[in-house]
C-alpha cells in the first residue's frame, strides 16, 4: 500500500516542512501520494507534483479548506484514508493539530514526532524532552505519524512528475469558523528552516534589550531569531520564537545561544544543531555542556563586539 502525506502549504506554494515528510513517507511504503487540501490551491498542487518521489497529488479545493481548520481537513483526510497504510503529517503546529483527530477517528494510535523509520510498523521518537529515545511498534492497520522534520533529509522539490487528481472538498463541519489571523511580517528566515539562529534567554532582561542586542547580530549573520522559554515567559519575545520541548525543534548549521542557561526543555529544541555557540557570563551554566564553543562573558559586551568585528 501507499503512504499519504498531508502537504503543508499556503495555497500558492508548498512549505518546506512537507519535503522531509515525503522522505519519511517513502521509507514507510513504496509509493507516496500527497494531499493538497486548500482553497484556490492549484499552484500548490502543481508544485507538489514536482516533488521527487511523489507519484500522485490529490487536490481537494474548497472554501471549507481555506483556513486549515482541523475539523474540515481531518474529514478530507478520512475520506481518503482507506487507501493508505501510512498517513504522515509534518510535526508542525498545523500537523500536530490535525493528525490526532484523524487517528482517533480511525481508532488507531498516533506516533508523534518520529525521528526514524525502523520498518513499516516500527518507529523511533524522542520522549522526556529528548532525554530518552523510544522505539515503538504499531499494531494498527493504518499508521498515523507526525514527522520531526529536522530528522529527515528534504525530498527534492523538483524532478518529480506526478499526476494531479482532483477530488471534491468536504463540506464545512459547522463546528468551528475562522475569524482572523495575525501573522507577524518578518524578513528574517523562518526559524524552523534557518541555517543560522541567534537565540536569547532571560539574561536579556527586557523586550527592548532582546531586540536591541540580538537584532544586529541576526542581521549580520542573516539569521533567524529564537528565544528560550524563560524569555518568552517573561514577555521578551513572541511565543512562536520559542525553541524547546514545547516550542520549535530546530537543527541549524549554527546556533548562537546568548544569555541562555540551558534548561532541559530548551536543550531539547536545539541540541541537534551542527555547531552550538554559548555566550553566558555564568561559567557553570548547563548550556556549556552542549556547546561546541563556549564564551564566558557578559552578552551585553560580547554580542555588540561580535557585531562590530568585521
| Of residues 83-142, those binding other proteins (CB under 8 A) | 92-94, 96-105, 107-113, 122, 126-140
Q: Is there a contact between 137 and 122 (Cβ–Cβ < 8 Å)?
A: yes
Site string for other proteins, 243-282 (x = CB under 8 A): --xx------xx---------xx-----x--xxxx-----
Q: Residue 284, interface with other proteins (CB under 8 A)?
A: no
Stretch that binds other proteins, among 81-89, 151-159, 202-210, 287-295 (CB under 8 A): 287-295
State in angstroms the smallest separation of the CB of 22 from other proteins.
Answer: 19
* 147-186 binders of other proteins (CB under 8 A): 173, 175-184, 186
Instruction: Rank residues 47 and 268 by Cβ distance to other proteins and give the closer one.
Output: 268
Q: Is there a contact between 124 and 116 (Cβ–Cβ < 8 Å)?
A: yes
Q: How many CA atoms lie within 13 A of 194 on its CB side?
A: 27
Instruction: Rank residues 52 and 151 by Cβ distance to other proteins and give the closer one.
Output: 151
Q: How many residues bind other proteins (CB under 8 A)?
A: 87
* 189-208 binders of other proteins (CB under 8 A): 196
* Residue the block writes with cell 564566558: 296
Using CA atoms of 291, 296, 301, 303 in order, give the dihedral in degrees to the nearest 10.
Answer: -10
| CA–CA gap between residue 63 and residue 152 (Å, rounded) | 33
State in angstroms the smallest separation of the CB of 132 from other proteins.
Answer: 5
Q: Is there a contact between 70 and 97 (Cβ–Cβ < 8 Å)?
A: yes
Instruction: Rank residues 38 and 126 by Cβ distance to other proteins and give the closer one.
Output: 126
Q: Is there a contact between 32 and 25 (Cβ–Cβ < 8 Å)?
A: yes
Instruction: Rank residues 23 and 94 by Cβ distance to other proteins and give the closer one.
Output: 94
State in angstroms the smallest separation of the CB of 101 from other proteins.
Answer: 4
221 grid coordinates: 549573520
Ranges assigned E (strand) in 203-273: 224-227, 254-258
* 56-75 binders of other proteins (CB under 8 A): 67, 69-71, 74
134 grid coordinates: 523510544
Amino acid at each position: 500500500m501507499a503512504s499519504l502525506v498531508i502537504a503543508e502549504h499556503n495555497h500558492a506554494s508548498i512549505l518546506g516542512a512537507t519535503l522531509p515528510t515525503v522522505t519519511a513517507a517513502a521509507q514507510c511504503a513504496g509509493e507516496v501520494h500527497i494531499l493538497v487540501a486548500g482553497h484556490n490551491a492549484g499552484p500548490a498542487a502543481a508544485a507538489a507534483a514536482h516533488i521527487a518521489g511523489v507519484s500522485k497529488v490529490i487536490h481537494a479545493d474548497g472554501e471549507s479548506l481555506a483556513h486549515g481548520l482541523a475539523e474540515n481537513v481531518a474529514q478530507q483526510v478520512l475520506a481518503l484514508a482507506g487507501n493508505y497504510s501510512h498517513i504522515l503529517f509534518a510535526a508542525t503546529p498545523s500537523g500536530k493539530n490535525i493528525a490526532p483527530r484523524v487517528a482517533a477517528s480511525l481508532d488507531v494510535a498516533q506516533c508523534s514526532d518520529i525521528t526514524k523509520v525502523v520498518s513499516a510498523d516500527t518507529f523511533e521518537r524522542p520522549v522526556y524532552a529528548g532525554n530518552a529515545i523510544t522505539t515503538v511498534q504499531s499494531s494498527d492497520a493504518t499508521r498515523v505519524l507526525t514527522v520531526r522534520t529536522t530528522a529527515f533529509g528534504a525530498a527534492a522539490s523538483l524532478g518529480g512528475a506526478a499526476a494531479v487528481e482532483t477530488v471534491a472538498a468536504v463540506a464545512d463541519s459547522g463546528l468551528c469558523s475562522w475569524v482572523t489571523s495575525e501573522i507577524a511580517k518578518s524578513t528574517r528566515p523562518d526559524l524552523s528552516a534557518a541555517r543560522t539562529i541567534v537565540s536569547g534567554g532571560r539574561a536579556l532582561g527586557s523586550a527592548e534589550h532582546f531586540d536591541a542586542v540580538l537584532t544586529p547580530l541576526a542581521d549580520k549573520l542573516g539569521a533567524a531569531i529564537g528565544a528560550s522559554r524563560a524569555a518568552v515567559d517573561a514577555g521578551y519575545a513572541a511565543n512562536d520564537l520559542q525553541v524547546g520541548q514545547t516550542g520549535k525543534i530546530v537543527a541549524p548549521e549554527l546556533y548562537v545561544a546568548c544569555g541562555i542557561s540551558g534548561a532541559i526543555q530548551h536543550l531539547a529544541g536545539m541540541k541537534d544543531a551542527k555547531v552550538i555557540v554559548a555566550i553566558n557570563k555564568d561559567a557553570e551554566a548547563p548550556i556549556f555542556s552542549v556547546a561546541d564553543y563556549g564564551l564566558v562573558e557578559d552578552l551585553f559586551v560580547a554580542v555588540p563586539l561580535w557585531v562590530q568585528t568585521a
